[in-house]
Amino acid sequence: MRARAYAPSHISGFFEICENENPLEKGSVGCGVLLSAGCFTEVRVCKCEETEIRIRINGNEEEAPTTRSVVAKMLASAASARKRGAFCVLVDTRFEVPLRNGFGASGAGALSTALALNDALSLRFTLNELAQIAHLAEIENSTGLGDVVAETFGGGVVIRKKAGAPGIGEIDRIPTRCLTVSYAVLGRGIETRRMLRDASHDKELRRRINNAGKASMRELLREPTIENFMRCSQNFALKTGLASERCVDAIEAVAAEGKVASVAMLGETVFVVGESEALREFGNVKTSKISFSGAKLL
């Protein structure tokens, strides 16, 4: 039994952390842009004597705790649905974007795995139910807050107005054309788990993030355009201190050519709508079209 699925990547421009004892209602509000460069996952399943889960990321076997959590939850559902016996599951995910650099990769990997495994085992979950499993896995492993809800339904530039998993959180979209986003990775990346745990213990960091996130959301809703999204994202990156010195230098260089750049949250990636010659001075620039498609089976 095998199945394949795709999920877009998601650059979060700004966010506000929304705590809740119910993990389905925990998450973030904010705004981000979906990229067609995402991830492709193939799941292969066979019956075996003892359950085994193996995960390959870009060809390398990994622990991948968020994706592993998704598979474990769904296998438990398979058992409760009287699909007797153990299963050996091989998840093979290939990303078209860098990992640990603000592209919502863990959410995309978890979501595409959920869709593919649901199809392979004929579990008959709805899209919302599958996305909720992926969201729970992100929350439990501290690998993301709001990527899954955006990646599930697509729509280009997605505003997360109410925190929570798909079916609970509320989203809106900024109408935009199929534009190109250019980006450059300037550092080794940031582990989302560490940053989110720092924010949960560091009250000052959390205050900066949430105050800046609220301000950016207010400003965006006054003028919901992709141009204003970029300005609000840049303000957030600078006010929170989440932009490294090198990222700030790149933002200023892009500004000198009359364009607005910002930092993908959470990461060491600077992005801009359209092309930027100035950004090329800071690293290898890659491009992707904005995605209007959410996660889907292939």
Pick from 58, 279, 90, 101: nearest CA to 180: 279
Amino acid letter, residue 296: K
Per-residue pLDDT at 66 = 97
Per-residue pLDDT at 123 = 92
Report residue 83 as tokens: 């699909």
The arithmetic mean of pLDDT across residues 281-286, rounded, is 96
Q: How many domains does the chain have?
A: 1
What's the CA gap between 231 and 263, in Å, rounded? 11
Could you tell me the CA-to-CA distances from 138 to 29, 102, 110, 276 in Å, in that order? Answer: 15, 14, 8, 33
Report residue 170 as tokens: 């509320």
HSE-CB of 103 using CA atoms within 13 angstroms: 31
pLDDT tens track for 157-169: 999 999 999 999 9
What is the domain extent for residue 16? 1-298
* Category of 4 on φ-ψ map: left (φ > 0), alpha (ψ -120 to 50) or beta: beta
pLDDT tens track for 29-45: 999 999 999 999 999 99
Q: pTM score, two decimals?
A: 0.94
Which residues have a Cβ under 8 Å from the Cβ of 96 and sit 6 or more positions away?
Answer: 9, 37, 38, 39, 40, 288
What's the CA gap between 180 and 104, in Å, rounded? 18
What's the CA gap between 274 and 253, in Å, rounded? 15
Give the domain CATH number at 261: 3.30.230.120
Amino acid letter, residue 115: L
